């Protein structure tokens, strides 16, 4: 066990062995770096942090996750994680203040630790129970939140929050002339328009086109009107260090705070892993990469735990960047490692230019990213199955109204309950035989599914019953008790209960103390079940 | 008897609480040094400390918005606590009406303007963490001031009219004699001494670039440690000299130049 853990904990560097792949990986890394810079900056904003922390996240979380991981997944700043960090810490301290930053680091360490615990407990597989509809719902909800926050910067509002989103829209609409800054609105609209037009011509680089057009329109505005007039919000200089080493503050008072942060740390750890593992699973199914899921859990956990030591906040796998990465032919973690290096180089080179990046242009790109996450096609896709549709819509709507954390809880609860409902459903096949009714049971026979069988039994009180258990996947104590009880009652009425079982079931039922009133018929040649 | 005793105790308690309430309390707020020692600060005090750090080391803590080599404390001496050197205990004076934009403006705008002009940077948004932290520090400094009443030693002293126009040529002599030892003959400063002109100094839109304002500041505080040693006329002359030197453009006027300047810088 321990040696297996140790093996998972050491980076494998398998990509080292095929140098012919390196060039592709490096190029994919470069594109990844270009994509992650605006995301890092804007997600830092969502997390309530200064932009450089987002870039550190793009550098270090990506680096650690890729060095330790086994897939070509691009980790780094992640929307849902960033929003959740914001919701967790904003009530405790003023956005961006030093205590705020300390709290965020504390929170991220907790997230990392929780994820490492997931790894130690081999809990990665519980994410298989989260329905894809829930993940889509969360992602759509996060997209909605992104669009709403991007409005702040596009319209040039100073941040104000309302309980529900429509109140905000109402306030903006009712006082548009006073609240909205025409300059930043102009820049924002140019950015968005450029993004949607650009997509027609270059679906790969349209975000880049959007940012560039936004930047240029910002320059144009600055050329005509001076800053004291426009009061435009710019990105500003970014004091990026190559090794932003930082020791997170941990003391008694902070540990008190950490109890308040704990539920959020859980939610973030969960949501981060859920997204990463969904991506990794897709990669594993769709490509021939040699992927180890547990190792990916470990990589995410350690990357997030180490993040605060490098002045960065927690991250997770990114759907959009992994997609691009894959399209460019990346197949190993080297692309992620390269991406993090390129971010550092690009920012150092672009620094002076980025200073005058209007936030409205950033927000415009964010708007596009957010709007893309709300996929109307998904609704159609899930409309086929009612339960999926309900999960999707309930998640989405509760995120819209009550925030991401609530939405995540709703999604988990709903998908687990759908899962429960589904496995507690028995498939009963009734056959009228001369010897009496034969009930064939498909599914798991356990405390939750027995009631269904009870109904069937009570409908046929005056018949001899034969129950065929060949296709039953699981039998538990309460099922054994049930059969004993029913057999006793039937015996009073002079009826007989027969169970058709295979050899293993026979042994099992006897060891569980099945009453002698049940007659067991062993089927030697039956298809026995592996899952017991 | 017992009842009476209780009554007396109650009365005493009441008296004490009244006395207590009458005492003004602002004086016993912790000093910055004490705050810096604390392992844990609540939101207000942590912002105060952050504000203090920005004022004393803007280069490090507010680098996002700073465009030159100055810190707030190079003009707002002693971290904004020195009288006649633009002290920052002015929270009670805001919001205030401004002819410039015809609105009432809070302390936030004033802070942001110092970033734009004095620090030759870019204007932070109203709700930037840096601005809020400085605002908290300013409120902290303003404890005990009466709201709406100008604190003693606000801004810089206004020099009386000397009857002569400020003379830059004479100012140059004063500068070389009295100031160059610290600020350098090229005005570029060195080490802890800030530049007084050049691209790393305040820009032409800054308050310090107004001859009267600078003269008041220089007369009261410069040469550092030996303030009020110049005559009014010398102070006016030397500020006129400073005023003529090359410095970053006023962001309120030449927009394009400003952008170019920033790319070159």
pLDDT band of A159, cuts 50, 70, 90? low
Mean predicted lDDT score pLDDT of chain A: 84
Residues in chain B with CB shorter than 8 Å from the CB of A254 are: 40
Q: Which tokens go with A43? A: 């997600």
**Chains A and B: how many Cβ contacts under 8 Å?**
91
A222 interfacial to chain B (CB closer than 8 Å): yes
CB B122 to CB A239 under 8 A? no
Q: Which of A387, A415, A443 is the last residue of a domain?
A: A415
Tell me the pLDDT tens digit for each residue of B61-115: 888 889 888 999 999 999 999 989 999 999 888 888 766 666 677 888 889 989 9
Is pLDDT above 60 for A235? yes
Answer yes or no: is A530 within a domain.
no
- Residue B176 has what DSSP assignment? I
Q: Are residues A282 and A178 both part of a single domain?
A: yes
Closest residue in B to A90 (Cα) is B43
Separation of alpha carbons B43 and B89, rounded Å: 20
**Residue appearing with tokens 């498939």:** A427
Separation of alpha carbons A343 and A34, rounded Å: 7
Is pLDDT above 50 for B18? no
- How many Å is the Cα radius of gyration of chain B? 23
| End-to-end Cα spacing for chain B | 85
- Percentage of chain B beyond pLDDT 90 is 25
Q: Name the E strands within A57-117.
A: 75-76
Separation of alpha carbons A149 and B185, rounded Å: 51
What is the average per-residue pLDDT within A337-364? 86
Q: Are residues A400 and A430 both part of a single domain?
A: no
Separation of alpha carbons A329 and A350, rounded Å: 27
Tell me the pLDDT tens digit for each residue of A363-421: 888 888 788 878 877 778 887 888 888 888 898 999 888 887 788 788 888 888 888 88
CATH ID of B156-265, from 3.40.50.300, 1.10.10.410, 2.40.33.20, 1.10.760.10:
1.10.760.10
B159 interfacial to chain A (CB closer than 8 Å): no
- How many Å is the Cα radius of gyration of chain A? 28
pLDDT band of B54, cuts 50, 70, 90? very high
ipTM: 0.75
Burial of B55 (0-12, 13-18, 19+ CB in 10 A): buried
- Percentage of chain B beyond pLDDT 70 is 83
Separation of alpha carbons B175 and B187, rounded Å: 9
Q: Are residues A255 and A338 both part of a single domain?
A: yes
Answer yes or no: is A14 within a domain.
no
Residues in chain B with CB shorter than 8 Å from the CB of A231 are: 123, 125
Instruction: Tell me if the domain spanning B32-141 has CATH number 1.10.760.10.
Output: yes
pLDDT band of A532, cuts 50, 70, 90? very low
Residues in chain B with CB shorter than 8 Å from the CB of A98 are: 46, 49-50
CB A227 to CB B265 under 8 A? no
Tell me the pLDDT tens digit for each residue of B129-164: 889 899 999 999 998 888 888 888 888 888 887 778
Residue A515 domain boundaries:
425-522
Alpha-carbon gap: A32 to the closest alpha carbon of chain B (Å): 25
Closest residue in B to A97 (Cα) is B129
Nearest to A236 among B39, B46, B64 (CB): B64
Q: Which of A380, A415, A450 is the last residue of a domain?
A: A415
B257 interfacial to chain A (CB closer than 8 Å): no
Closest residue in B to A160 (Cα) is B127
Separation of alpha carbons A254 and A262, rounded Å: 12
Which residue has better confidence, A310 or A128?
A310
Whichever domain contains A441, its CATH number is 3.30.750.24
Tell me the pLDDT tens digit for each residue of B224-244: 888 888 889 999 999 999 998
B199 interfacial to chain A (CB closer than 8 Å): no
Is pLDDT above 50 for A528? no
B123 interfacial to chain A (CB closer than 8 Å): yes
- The pLDDT score that the predictor gives to residue B14 is 47
Answer yes or no: is A62 within a domain.
yes
Per the structure, how many domains does chain A have? Answer: 2
Answer yes or no: is A89 within a domain.
yes
* Contact criterion met (CB below 8 Å) for A505 and A527: no
CB A233 to CB B125 under 8 A? yes
Task: Give the range among A155-169, A251-265, A393-407, B238-252 with minimum mean pLDDT.
Answer: A155-169
Q: Name the E strands within A406-446.
A: 427-433, 436-445
- The pLDDT score that the predictor gives to residue A186 is 92
Preceding peptide of B95 cis, ω within 30°:
yes
Burial state string for A353-380 with b = 16 or more CB within 10 A and e = fewer than 16: ebbbbbbbbbbbbbbbbbbbbbeeebbe
């Amino acid at each position: 066990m321990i040696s297996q853990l140790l093996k998972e904990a050491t980076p494998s560097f398998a990509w080292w062995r095929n140098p012919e792949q390196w060039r592709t990986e490096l190029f994919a890394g470069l594109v990844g770096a270009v994509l992650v810079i605006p995301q890092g900056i804007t997600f830092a904003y969502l997390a309530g942090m200064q932009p450089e922390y987002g870039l550190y996240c793009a550098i270090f979380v990506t680096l650690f996750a890729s060095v330790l991981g086994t897939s070509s997944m691009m980790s780094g700043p992640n929307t849902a994680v960033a929003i959740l960090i914001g919701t967790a810490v904003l009530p405790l301290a003023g956005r961006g203040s030093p205590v705020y930053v300390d709290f965020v680091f504390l929170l991220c360490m907790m997230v990392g630790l929780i994820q490492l615990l997931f790894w130690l407990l081999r809990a990665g597989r519980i994410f298989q129970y989260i329905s894809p509809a829930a993940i889509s719902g969360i992602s759509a909800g996060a997209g909605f939140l992104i669009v709403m926050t991007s409005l702040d910067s596009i319209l040039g509002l100073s941040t104000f929050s309302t309980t529900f989103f429509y109140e905000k829209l109402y306030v903006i609409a009712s006082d548009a002339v006073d609240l909205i800054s025409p300059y930043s609105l102009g820049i924002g609209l140019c950015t968005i328009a450029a993004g949607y037009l650009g997509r027609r011509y270059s679906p790969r680089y349209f975000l880049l086109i959007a940012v560039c057009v936004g930047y240029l329109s910002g320059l144009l505005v600055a050329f005509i009107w001076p800053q004291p007039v426009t009061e435009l919000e710019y990105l500003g200089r970014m004091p990026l260090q190559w090794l932003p080493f930082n020791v997170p503050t941990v003391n008694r008072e902070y540990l008190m705070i950490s109890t308040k942060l704990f539920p959020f740390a859980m939610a973030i750890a969960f949501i981060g892993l859920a997204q990463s593992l969904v991506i990794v699973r897709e990669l594993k199914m769709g490509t021939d990469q040699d992927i180890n899921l547990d190792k990916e859990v470990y990589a995410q956990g350690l990357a997030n735990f180490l993040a605060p030591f490098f002045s960065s906040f927690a991250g997770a796998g990114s759907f959009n960047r992994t997609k691009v990465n894959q399209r460019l032919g990346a197949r190993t973690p080297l692309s992620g490692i390269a991406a993090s290096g390129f971010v550092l180089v690009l920012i150092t080179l672009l620094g002076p230019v980025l200073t005058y990046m209007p936030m409205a242009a950033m927000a415009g790109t964010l708007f596009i990213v957010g709007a893309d996450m709300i996929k109307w096609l998904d609704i159609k896709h899930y409309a086929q199955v009612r339960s999926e549709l309900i999960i999707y819509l309930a998640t989405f709507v509760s995120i819209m109204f009550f925030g991401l954390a609530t939405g995540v809880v709703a999604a988990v609860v709903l998908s687990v309950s759908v899962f429960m409902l589904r496995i507690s459903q028995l498939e009963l096949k009734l056959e009228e035989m001369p010897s009496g009714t034969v009930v064939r049971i498909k599914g798991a026979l356990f405390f939750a599914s027995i009631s269904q069988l009870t109904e069937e039994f009570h409908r046929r009180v005056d018949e001899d019953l034969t129950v065929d258990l060949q296709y039953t996947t699981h039998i538990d104590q309460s099922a054994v008790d049930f059969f004993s009880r029913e057999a006793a009652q039937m015996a009073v009425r002079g009826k007989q209960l027969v169970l058709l079982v295979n050899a293993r079931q026979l042994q099992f039922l006897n060891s569980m103390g099945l009453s002698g009133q049940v007659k067991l018929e062993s089927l030697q040649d039956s298809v026995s079940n592996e899952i017991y | 008897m017992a009842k009476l005793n209780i009554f007396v105790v109650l009365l005493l308690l009441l008296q004490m609480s009244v006395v207590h309430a009458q005492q003004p309390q602002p004086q016993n707020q912790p000093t910055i040094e004490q705050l810096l020692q604390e392992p844990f600060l609540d939101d207000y005090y942590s912002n105060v400390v952050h504000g203090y750090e920005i004022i004393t080391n803007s280069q490090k803590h507010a680098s996002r918005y700073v465009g030159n080599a100055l810190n707030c404390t190079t003009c707002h001496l002693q971290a904004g606590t020195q009288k006649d050197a633009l002290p920052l205990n002015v929270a009670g004076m805001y919001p205030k009406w401004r002819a410039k934009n015809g609105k009432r403006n809070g302390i936030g705008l004033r802070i942001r303007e110092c970033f734009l002009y004095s620090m030759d940077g870019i204007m932070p948004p109203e709700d930037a963490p840096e601005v809020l932290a400085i605002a908290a520090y300013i409120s902290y400094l303003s404890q005990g001031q009466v709201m709406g009443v100008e604190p003693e030693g606000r801004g810089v002293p206004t020099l009386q009219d000397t009857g002569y126009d400020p003379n830059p040529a004479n100012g140059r002599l004063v500068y070389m004699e009295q100031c160059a030892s610290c600020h350098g003959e090229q005005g570029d400063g060195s080490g802890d001494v800030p530049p007084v002109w050049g691209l790393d100094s305040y820009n032409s839109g800054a308050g310090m670039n107004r001859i009267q304002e600078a003269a008041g500041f220089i007369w009261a505080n410069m040469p550092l440690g030996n303030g009020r040693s110049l005559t009014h006329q010398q102070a006016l002359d030397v500020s006129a000299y400073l005023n003529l030197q090359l410095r970053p453009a006023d962001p309120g006027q030449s927009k394009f130049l400003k952008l170019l300047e920033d790319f070159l810088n």
